[in-house]
Amino acid sequence: MFGIVSASVIVLLALNLRRALVDHPYRARAFWTAVGGLTLLALIGESIITDLTGSSPTTSYAVWLGGAAVWGLIFFGLYGWIWSNVAVAVEADFFNRDVLWWKRGGVYIAPALVVVSYAFFNLPPWWTIPQSGPLLDVFNGLFYGAVVYATVALAISYWRIKDMRIKTYTKWVVLSIAALFAIIFLAPDPLALLAGFAWFFCMYKSVSSLAIKTRRLESDSGSSP
C-alpha cells in the first residue's frame, strides 16, 4: 500500500509539473518522471501477477499480454526516465560538452538496445527461442549496458553542472538509480528492503526538487497581493 501511494504521489506531482513547464527537455523530464512512478506501480502489479500465475511459463495470451505491458513500462519507464535526465543535464552544461558521445550516437543506440532486449524478454509464449542460458546473459547485458551507460553519462554531467538546482536534482536521480541497482542485486536478501526504502526516499527527493514551486507570491511591498 505504501508503494502504491508513494508511486501515485510521484505520478501526480510530475504530471502537474509537466503541465506547468514550458521548455521541451524539462517537460519531457517531468513526463518520464511520471512514467517512472507508473513503473513503480507496474513493478507492484507484476509481483501481483506473478503471485496469481506462479513463476511457471504460461501460454495464456492474456497473461502474456499483461506481462508484456508491465515489463514494457519497467523497461521503457526506467530507461526513459534516465534518458530524459541526461538530456536536461547535457542541456544545463554551459559548455555544451558531449558526455560519452551521448549526442553523437549514444542517445539513439542505447534506446535501441533497450528495445531489442525488451523484445527478447517479451517474446510470445509460442515462440521457440529458449529464454535462458548464454542468450539470456547477452540480452540482459544489452539492457543493463544501456542503463549503466546512461547512468554514467548522467553522473559525469552531474559533476559538470553549475546550476545548483539541477545539480541537486541530478544527484537524487543518480542515487535513485544506484538504489534500484542495489535492490536488483541484493534481492532476496533482507538488505534489499533497506535499498527499497532508500529508492523511495531518493525518488521522492528527486521529484520534489524537479522544479522550485512557491506557495506565496510576494508583491513589491513584501506582502501577498
Residues forming the site for other proteins (CB under 8 A): 12, 16-17, 19-27, 92, 94-96, 162-166, 211-215, 217, 219-221, 224-225
Nearer to other proteins, 95 or 159 (CB): 95
CA atoms of 65 and 163, how far apart (whole Å): 43
With respect to other proteins, which residue has the nearer C-beta, 57 or 222?
222
Report, in Å, the least distance between residue 92 CB and other proteins: 7
Of 189 and 218, which CB lies nearer to other proteins in the complex structure?
218
Q: Report the phi/psi class of residue 216: left, alpha or beta, with left for phi > 0 and alpha for psi in -120 to 50.
A: beta
Please say which residue, 24 or 104, places its beta carbon nearer to other proteins.
24
- Shortest distance in whole angstroms from residue 218 CB to other proteins: 9
List all residues 6 or more positions away from 212 whose beta carbon is below 8 Å from its beta carbon.
165
Backbone angles phi, psi at 190, to 5 degrees: -55, -25
Distance CA 154, CA 138 (A): 24
Least distance (Å) between residue 133 CB and other proteins: 45
CB of 22 to other proteins, least distance (A): 4
| Chain centre distance of CA 139 | 19
CA distances from 91 to 24, 26, 158, 176 (A): 11, 10, 12, 21
Asked if the bond preceding 190 is cis, omega within 30° of 0, the reply is no
Q: How far is the CB of 224 from other proteins (least distance, A)?
A: 7
Provide the minimum distance between the beta carbon of 87 and other proteins in the complex, in angstroms, as a whole number. 12
Q: Which is nearer to other proteins, 28 or 180 (CB)?
A: 28
Residue type, 174: V
Closer of 27 and 49 to other proteins (Cβ):
27
